[in-house]
Chain A
Amino acid sequence: MHSVKRVRTSAEAQAAKKRKEAGKIVEYKALVDKVFTGRDAGDLSLNALHLTTTLLKQNPEYYTVWNYRREILVSLFKSLSTEEIISTIESELEFLFSRLREFPKCYWIWNHRKWCLTTSPKPNYKYELKLVTLMLERDARNFHGWQYRRAVVASIEKMMKHPGALDKSEFAYTTAKINNNFSNFSAWHNRTKLIPRMLIDDPDLDGRELLKKEIHLITQAIYTDPDDQSVWLYHRWLVTSNDIVKLSTDERVELLHQEIKSIDELLVVEPDSKWCLHSLAFYKNFLATITNSPVDPSVLEYLDRLAEIDPMRRKRYQDWKAQITNTAD
């Protein structure tokens, strides 16, 4: 049980609860029996479909019943016109939406929804994009939601026969999510996947310019909340990876110096910021690696300080320090 409070009840209350549940159990078991009897007998009727609806409303995790439901639908479609299939799938999607609103993290519902769309002769992926936008408005970190979003976008692009067609609008979407709450690792993550695709798709897009803009954006976030680790993770991607633009060593060194300077300025007002200290240590270490030069001695000081203010991860800082000292020897 995730996040369900433990409640201690008296023996009487427990007995009362059990009396109350006894009727429900009988009803539920009877329903399950009915559904499985129907399945064993090969009942693929509309009535059987309605029975699965009732059962899945009570228990959306019942994967076998989702499978049965699929079998019924496939069988029904054989005798339906295309229009009728479309409208059946539409009501199926409506049903699924009501289930998702209640159980946004249930794998089977999302799976069944994907199946409906691949089965539909006329899937409305634009609607799906809106739906998932809504789901992510309710929980901006739901990874099922993000996963589904990427799948929907891929389907749209496939239909348009234009991979990358939605990259820019999806990029704008992550910007909106970030503006709404930048403590959203899911949105930053999606950016790391979109940007390289955008650059491939649009040769006019200047990677250097884009990198500059992204650094400007992430710097605003870093200064607004330096305790938020998602922004530092994204910052590290921007500063150290070649995914946006392949920088020459000189350019990379210049970028590192620039960012080290910016973090140094933040450290003046936030002398105990773990992430400032960590990033300075990390980037100065990285700088030494790419220029083949010894690590700046200040890194050792940062690591000592980190071990002090972040004792849970003390061993990591000690290991890191030992690594630097050993290399120097």
Chain B
Amino acid sequence: MAPGFVREKHIKYIQSLDKKHDELEYWLSEHLRMNGVYWGLTALDLMGARDALPRDEMIAYVKSCQHSNGGFGANPGHDAHILYTLSAIQILFIQDAIHEVDSTLVASYVCSLQNRETGAVKGDLNGDDEDTRFVYIAFQTLALLDRLRELDVDLAVSYIDACKNYDGGYGMSPGAESHAGQIFVCVAALAIADRLDLVDRDLLCWWLCERQVPSGGLNGRPEKLPDVCYSWWVLSALAVLGRLDWIDRDRLREFILDAQDDELGGIADRKGDAVDVFHTLFGIAGLSLLGFEGLEPVDPVYCLPARVTKDLHFTRKR
């Protein structure tokens, strides 16, 4: 029998994360700090505890990571990268503080990463690693800034379409194998661009619902182990495509609750493993999509509290 949802402990766990200066792991994960703040804040917000972390300090921290080119790094002094730029904007969006940064500058940074021939988006200015993840990130960042029109959305959509495989899924670039994480970003990107008509809905949802394994958890590719973070990647795609009931929600809920650390809080990739804030967010977001009592609804496209995104869905049409 899975433990109940240990809300208070999860809140404590997230609050404790920035106080672990005496652990080597804290210093070894500096390159993820901005993501970590977004994961922690969103998880708290979904638990109705957004104020558990200090707002003003957080906004100041985010601003301290911005570069003159508009992009954000993972931590002060770290290089700008689109991965952290999105997290920064997401944090500001949740905190209703977008006006604290120059959105023209951020948008121009993001747009400068698009390959104007293929539509693909790279991760940073010296990178040549084009990836569907970055297309989604560009879409979301610009949508949050209400500047999606500054990107060549049609070209980017055609790039996503080129990543579609015979199984209805999407890979990280044309030719690559379907992967639940990439499917989430592609489906969500197409949703932002209002192009879900390009998705082979029944076929893809079949592939997605087959991710549920006998333990109740979801995996990311055929014949792989289940992992709590796929509760988000797979589930959100199914939610966007309106097929959430094609999996067994009760079994998945048990799987996620089982992965909690019911003593010290936090959620792991699966039962018995060490917890981290990444899996904590995606576990909670997954539970939220499953309609778990006491959690705020989450937006499956943006992975943000639905409360803050509700207006986006009307304004994003180009």
Q: Is the CB of B172 within 8 A of A61?
A: no
Q: A21-B22, A313-B209 are in contact. Are A143 and B176 (CB under 8 A)?
A: yes
Q: Is the CB of B212 within 8 A of A107?
A: no
Is the Cβ of A185 less than 8 Å from the Cβ of B28? no
- Chain A interface category by residue count: 35 or more
Contacts of B207 in A (CB 8 A): 233
Q: How many whole Å from A251's CB to the nearest CB in chain B?
A: 19
Contacts of A63 on B, CB cut-off 8 Å?
31, 74, 78-79, 81
Q: How far is the CB of A211 from chain B (nearest CB, A)?
A: 14
Smallest CB separation, A210 vs chain B (Å): 16
Residues in B with CB closer than 8 Å to A120 are: none
Q: Is A25 an interface residue when CB atoms closer than 8 A count as contact?
A: yes
Which among B87-95, B242-250, B292-300 touches the partner chain?
B242-250
* A311 and B28 within 8 A (CB): no
Cα of A67 to Cα of B126 in the assembled complex, Å: 8
Interface 1/0 per residue, A121-145 and B, CB below 8 Å: 0000000000000000000010100
Find chain A residues with CB under 8 A from B248 CB: 311-313
| Cβ-defined contact, A4 with B273, below 8 A | yes
Q: Is B291 an interface residue (CB 8 A)?
A: no
A95 at the interface (CB under 8 A from B): no
- Which residues of A have CB within 8 Å of B263? 8
Partner of A5 from the list B24, B81, B274 (CB cut-off 8 Å) is: B274
Contacts A63-B31, A111-B127, A143-B176 given; does A6 touch B275 at CB 8 Å: yes
* Binary flags per residue of A225-266, CB closer than 8 Å to B gives 1, else 0: 000111001000100010100000000000000000000000
Residue of A nearest to B181 (CB): A143
Q: Would you list which residues of chain A between 16 and 30 have a CB under 8 Å from chain B?
A: 18, 21-22, 24-25, 28-29
Interface string of B232-263 (1 = CB under 8 A from A): 00000000000101111001000000000101
Q: Within the complex, which residue of A64, A183, A315 is in contact with B73, where a contact is CB–CB below 8 Å?
A: A64
CB < 8 Å neighbour of A313 from B124, B166, B177, B247? B247
Is A321 an interface residue, CB under 8 A from the partner? no
Q: Does B45 sit within 8 A of A, measured CB to CB? A: no
* Contact between chains at A143 and B172 (CB < 8 Å): yes
B152 within 8 A of A: no
CA of A73 to CA of B206 in the docked complex: distance in angstroms?
Answer: 48
B residues less than 8 Å from A114 (CB atoms): 128-129
Q: Which residue of A lies closest to B261 (CB)?
A: A6
Shortest Cβ distance from residue B239 to the other chain A in the assembled complex, whole angstroms: 14
The answer to whether A1 and B274 touch across the interface, beta carbons within 8 angstroms, is: yes
Query: Can you name the residue of chain B whose Cβ is closest to the Cβ of A67?
Result: B79
B316 within 8 A of A: no
Q: How far is the CA of A313 from the CA of B205 in the complex (A)?
A: 11
B194 interface residue per 8 A CB criterion: no
B256-279 with Cβ < 8 A to chain A: 261, 263, 268-269, 272-276, 279
B32 adjacent to chain A (CB < 8 Å): yes
Asked whether A50 is an interface residue with its Cβ less than 8 Å from the other chain, the reply is: no
> Could you tell me the distance between the alpha carbons of A21 and B27 in the complex, rounded to whole angstroms?
11
Distance of B231 from chain A, by nearest CB (Å):
14
Asked if A4 and B274 make an inter-chain contact with CB atoms under 8 angstroms apart, the answer reads yes
A229 contacts B223, C-beta separation under 8 Å: yes
Contact A21 B273 (CB under 8 A): no
Cross-chain contact B166 with A64 (CB below 8 angstroms): no
Contact: B273 with A5, CB < 8 Å? yes
Q: Are B268 and A185 in contact (CB under 8 A)?
A: no
Q: Determine the chain B residues whose CB is within 8 A of the CB of A97 once the complex forms.
A: none
Q: Let me know if B222 and A111 touch, CB within 8 A.
A: no
CA distance A59 to B32 in the complex (A): 12
Of B77, B165, B245, the contact of A64 (CB 8 Å cutoff): B77
Q: Does A219 contact B (CB under 8 A)?
A: no
Measured between beta carbons, the chain B residues less than 8 angstroms from A233 are 167, 207, 222
User: Assuming A25-B24, A67-B126, is B32 touching A61 (CB within 8 A)?
Assistant: yes
B3 at the interface (CB under 8 A from A): no
Cβ contacts under 8 Å, B243 to chain A: 316
Instruction: Answer yes or no: B99 CB below 8 A from chain A CBs.
Output: no
Given contacts A5-B273, A61-B32, A316-B246, contact A193 B175 (CB under 8 A): yes
A2 to B79, CA, bound (A): 26
A168 proximal to B (CB < 8 A): no
Query: Given contacts A67-B126, A237-B166, are A229 and B77 in contact (CB under 8 A)?
Result: no
Task: Report which of A3, A67, A312 forms a contact with B269, defined as CB distance below 8 A.
Answer: A3
* Chain A residues, CB < 8 A from B221: 141, 143, 185-186
B272 near A185: Cβ-Cβ < 8 Å: no
In the complex formed, the residue of B with least CB distance to A4 is B274
For the complex formed, measure the closest distance between the CB of A248 and the CB atoms of chain B, giving whole angstroms. 21
Residues of A within 8 A of B279 (CB): 1
- The CA of A312 and the CA of B253, in the complex, are separated in Å by 13
A263 to B272, CA, bound (A): 40
Contacts of A1 in B (CB 8 A): 268-269, 273-276, 279
Is B161 among interface residues, defined by CB-CB distance under 8 A? no
**C-alpha spacing A150/B172, complex, angstroms:** 12
Bound form: Cα–Cα A198–B223 in Å: 28
Which residues of A are found within 8 Å of B223, using beta-carbon distances? 141, 183, 185, 228-230
B212-229 toward A: CB 8 Å interface, digit per residue (1/0)?
Answer: 100010000111110100
- Confirm or deny: A189 has a beta carbon within 8 angstroms of a beta carbon on chain B: yes
Given A62-B31, A143-B179: A312 touches B247 (CB 8 Å cut-off): yes
Given contacts A6-B261, A185-B223, A316-B205, 15 further A-B contacts (CB under 8 A): A5-B274, A6-B272, A28-B28, A146-B177, A147-B172, A147-B173, A189-B177, A192-B166, A229-B210, A229-B223, A230-B223, A312-B209, A313-B212, A313-B248, A316-B243
Of the A-B pairs whose beta carbons lie under 8 Å apart in the complex, a sample of 22, sorted by A's number, is A1-B275, A1-B279, A2-B227, A2-B273, A7-B274, A21-B23, A28-B24, A28-B27, A62-B31, A63-B31, A63-B74, A64-B79, A67-B79, A67-B124, A70-B126, A141-B224, A143-B177, A146-B177, A185-B223, A193-B175, A312-B209, A319-B246
